[in-house]
Structure 1
């Protein structure tokens, strides 16, 4: 004979699978955040590699005055588009059309100043409101390289070593790994990957408590030979199972998206292995059970289905506050973070994304930080079920 709580679980789970609204929420939040993360990173990769893939066009007024500079632009895959002289309004219209990354206007007396070793004027016009920031920096880098080359040649012509103009040579060494940089950038988004744990089972939890009481079907269920713990335990596992399924599928999809994207193009990487992700999913199971337990315990104290939905919609946002506070305060990772529900899951995944060797303790603390309060919430709901005031909604 099946245990009573298992019978209740199967009954609630089958009814939930027939609920299109619950399945719709499950599908929405399972797909939304991974696809959103993939789209944002893919757009960033496209912007970073667009100049290399497509090159760029630079409008130049008076290109014949500096043939060597034009040759250097060509070496950097920058196409020079010679245009006639124009006024400021016409230049603005050209840049707003976004057909060129910028416009260079070379002084007609550029050659004379160059021969006389006087500063030759070059104007760079660009639109700072466009998304061509990286391309503009590439143009400026070519101009600086061209200027430094002329300076070195002039110093050598006068018998002076160019090294005298650089008394200090600064060398930079970045010890940060691509995994650490990617975790820092993606870390702000990783927290949202655990948010569906509080959404996927919400509809089932409210419907099986406040909804059944409003429909007067809960009285019939309580008349059966089953203890309050069996009734609440079955409902809790049914709502928690949906959340577990949703968060597991979401993490797997996010892992697939991040592994597929060429993050190396923007100096990032995703080094979380499938085995590590599996352990993260196991450690996240209590978070889904905690969410289901809180939903059931709070929905039982609501007088109507709508009141339960309103209260839980606000309560669902509370678990995100510790993660936001830690990111805003820029706190370093500490052991206490693994004992705060949801923050522990975010910290665990972020540290794994950095390539850190965590050991067993963070996984155990993450598991227990949500499992213990989940059992407490279920115990409170079971005790509440014994009250006739709850069943009669008085």
Structure 2
């Protein structure tokens, strides 16, 4: 026990020695809450608010009622644009052509073709175009309903069957976007925070000849591996804890009432997430140590281990795209935690059996990696980075 304690203290001194490198390692924990807050505000503003859209109209004088309807929807004439926004909307170049026969065709009950010209491949143009389509469709429907009423036709005949939706989700489930981002950033924090420590304590120590000297001591190889694992995992745990605390604070600055949603990350929910992510921190560090020791140099280790970060970023999006998820995904590391976090954010009752199951599988895989790495460090090829 005394040997392991000495090794652990040595790893902690190495990890906390370079304050600048430590800050870079924990940068994800500090940046994630800010990104969550900013992105949430932007998405809510786009979803709820209706910022002005400036359109170049031709033939606007032929359709005064249509123009009045568009103005109510904050779809304005290009002539009303402020000088500071003129360059932006001139580049987007959204044009609506109203035919000269608009009034006569409207009186005759003919179909009127209003032409909308824009670069539909431009992402900045897509939201304004969508609003224009909705506004003109609503205007067209209102005229159609009025014509039917004038002819004595009950417009309710157009909708013989009406589907009434009753949302049974918890209030927290309405804000899916924040929960997805938070879950993703928390898992990524577990992988990114301890990354530099894991590389330095493996490939870095091998290049500095510290590893060879350490293995020459009368110390168990297993204790050396466990000390390195605990050193890197501790930084990962700190990163996850920071993301949890700072995210709960940053979400408070987002006005969710605009979309009728509520979100809170209380102590119980935060503790549940922390316990759920704890095995992931050790799993991530074990994977990074394992890959770093296989590399032939420090630079190669950096390139190889950095690819591991793609796993936590890729898995949640794959799960989101799957309609029918296989049952075995509940047991797989990262996938199992992602699914449980989704339920936690929705306010669904926590299934502790599922947490124990996926945590048990994660710990078992971590233990397997530690055992394999322990055996590999007894090989001269791994220690000396020989081909």
TM-score, with length taken from structure 1: 0.76
Contact 1:107 1:121 in 2 (8 A): no
Offset, 1:17? 1.8
2:351 to 359, 378, 384: 359
Alignment match, 1:202: 195
Alignment match, 2:334: 342
Contact 1:348 1:363 in 2 (8 A): yes
1:281 to 274, 282, 294: 274
Contact 2:189 2:239 in 1 (8 A): yes
Give the 3 Å change call, closer, same or farther, for CA 63–322 of structure 1 in structure 2: closer
Aligned counterparts of 1:141 and 1:273: Cα–Cα separation in 2: 44
1:247 to 237, 240, 243: 240
Offset, 1:70? 5.6
How many pairs align? 374
Contact 2:211 2:383 in 1 (8 A): yes
Alignment match, 1:10: 9
Offset, 1:287? 1.0
Contact 2:248 2:264 in 1 (8 A): no
Offset, 1:122? 6.6
Q: How does 1:94-243 map to 2 (within 5 A)?
A: 97=90, 103=96, 105=98, 107=100, 110=103, 118-119=109-110, 121=112, 123=114, 125=116, 127=118, 128=120, 129=122, 130=125, 131-155=127-151, 160-163=152-155, 166=158, 168-173=160-165, 175=167, 177=169, 179-180=172-173, 182-183=175-176, 187=180, 190-243=183-236
Aligned counterparts of 2:367 and 2:272: Cα–Cα separation in 1: 21
1:23 aligns with 2:19: no
Aligned counterparts of 1:6 and 1:181: Cα–Cα separation in 2: 48
Give the 3 Å change call, closer, same or farther, for CA 100–141 of structure 1 in structure 2: farther
Aligned counterparts of 1:385 and 1:164: Cα–Cα separation in 2: 77
Offset, 1:288? 0.9
Aligned counterparts of 2:39 and 2:201: Cα–Cα separation in 1: 37
Aligned counterparts of 2:306 and 2:75: Cα–Cα separation in 1: 55
Q: How does 1:263-282 map to 2 (within 5 A)?
A: 263-266=256-259, 270=263, 272-282=265-275
Q: CA RMSD in A?
A: 3.9
1:371 to 339, 349, 363: 363
Offset, 1:277? 2.4
Offset, 1:118? 3.6
- Equivalent position SS for 1:300: helix
Offset, 1:100? 9.4
Q: Structure 1, residues 328-353: CA drift from partner, whole Å, max 9, x if none?
A: 4333474x333211112211111222
Q: Structure 1, residues 153-192: CA drift from partner, whole Å, max 9, x if none?
A: 522xxxx243475362534425364644543796488435
Rg larger in 1 or in 2?
1
Instruction: Using the TM superposition, name which of 383-392 and 344-353 deviates more.
Output: 383-392
- Equivalent position SS for 2:9: helix
Contact 2:53 2:128 in 1 (8 A): no
- Equivalent position SS for 1:125: strand
Where structure 1 has 5 or more consecutive residues not aligned to the other structure, the ranges are 84-92
Where structure 2 has 5 or more consecutive residues not aligned to the other structure, the ranges are 80-85
Q: How does 1:13-52 map to 2 (within 5 A)?
A: 13-20=12-19, 22-51=21-50
Offset, 1:298? 3.6
TM-score, with length taken from structure 2: 0.77
Contact 1:56 1:100 in 2 (8 A): no
Contact 1:210 1:308 in 2 (8 A): yes
Contact 1:201 1:242 in 2 (8 A): yes
Alignment match, 1:329: 322
Alignment match, 1:90: none
1:300 to 293, 306, 310: 293
Instruction: Using the TM superposition, name which of 208-217 and 146-155 deviates more.
Output: 146-155
